[in-house]
């Protein structure tokens, strides 16, 4: 007989998560810490669907990547960029508070996943850094930072997510519009010379950001010698 309290949730089942912390990541992004009914089985790079339902029954769901490393606990962190006219993101960032309940479904995704045991090049733009952060955190937590090289592109220092955590020997930050005082690189879009050098010929690249960013970054990785099959892409933004 199965004890229902211990039974795993069916894959794909909606679960009720409790918001246990909300903290600003930048002026227009917040990190939500959620407690799930069961320990999360997510892999670095996967996402959850978040569903909001209005009193009249109208509902909307959106995907949000897990920012926290897999750690076997029942807590996960999502970071949500607030879009001005965004139906779901503006509610999540403006209205949610600790104690609130949220419907989530996941973890989802089997392709854009890093299991922590092979060389990886992580290239993220804006909120695209979120799933890559789960990968970086996993690498650091397991003492395998040697496997990972990360390049993050942000508009300006105040738009960089996880600003206190990202710096390290395995990471580099590229600012496109504004740079911190004495920053060695002038502001500008990601270029070939910003990629890790030399690139591990056996590495898999994980690229995440808007469609435009993802295409540009993938083109640079190919210019640097990576084969198309080595490059995995996750696009966050609208396709147009």
How far, in Å, CA of 133 to CA of 175, rounded?
18
103 to 132, contacts with ligand FAD by CB under 6 A? Answer: 127, 130
How far, in Å, CA of 114 to CA of 205, rounded?
10
Query: Which residues lie closer than 8 Å to 83 by C-beta, 6 or more apart?
Result: 89, 90
**CA-wise closest residue to 63 among 108, 30, 115, 13:** 108
Q: Is 224 in the site for ligand FAD (CB under 6 A)?
A: no
Express the helix, strand and coil content of the chain in percent, nearest 5 each.
Answer: 20, 35, 45
Q: Is 211 in the site for ligand FAD (CB under 6 A)?
A: no
- Interface segment toward ligand FAD; rule CB under 6 A; list 61-69, 138-146, 161-169, 181-189: 61-69
Nearest distance in Å: CB 128, ligand FAD: 8
164 to 203, contacts with ligand FAD by CB under 6 A? Answer: none
Q: Is 49 in the site for ligand FAD (CB under 6 A)?
A: no
Helices (H), the chain: 87-95, 129-141, 211-223
- Interface segment toward ligand FAD; rule CB under 6 A; list 88-96, 143-151, 164-172, 183-191: 88-96
Tokens of 203: 């590495």
Q: Is 31 in the site for ligand FAD (CB under 6 A)?
A: no
Among 35, 51, 62, 155, binds ligand FAD (CB under 6 A): 62
Residues at the contact surface with ligand FAD, assessed by CB under 6 A: 47, 62-65, 79-81, 83, 85-90, 127, 130, 210, 234, 236-238
């Amino acid at each position: 007989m199965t004890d229902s309290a211990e039974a795993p949730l069916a894959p794909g089942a909606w679960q009720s998560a409790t918001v246990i912390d909300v903290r600003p990541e930048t002026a227009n992004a917040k990190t939500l810490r959620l407690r799930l009914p069961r320990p999360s089985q997510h892999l670095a790079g996967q996402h959850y669907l978040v569903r909001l339902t209005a009193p009249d029954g109208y509902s909307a769901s959106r995907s949000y990547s897990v920012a926290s490393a897999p750690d076997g606990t029942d807590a996960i962190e999502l970071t949500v960029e607030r879009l001005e006219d965004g139906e779901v993101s503006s509610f999540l960032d403006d209205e949610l508070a600790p104690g609130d309940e949220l419907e989530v479904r996941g973890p989802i995704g089997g392709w854009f996943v890093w299991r922590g045991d092979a060389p990886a090049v992580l290239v993220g733009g804006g909120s695209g850094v979120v799933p890559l952060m789960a990968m970086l955190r996993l690498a650091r937590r397991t003492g395998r930072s040697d496997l990972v090289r990360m390049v993050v592109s942000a508009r300006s220092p105040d738009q960089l997510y996880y600003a206190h955590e990202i710096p390290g020997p395995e990471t580099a930050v590229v600012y496109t519009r504004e740079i911190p005082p004495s920053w060695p690189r002038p502001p500008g879009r990601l270029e070939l010379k910003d990629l890790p050098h030399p690139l591990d010929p056996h590495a898999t690249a994980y690229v995440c950001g808007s469609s435009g960013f993802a295409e540009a970054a993938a083109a640079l990785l190919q210019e640097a010698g990576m084969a198309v099959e080595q490059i995995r892409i996750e696009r966050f933004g609208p396709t147009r």
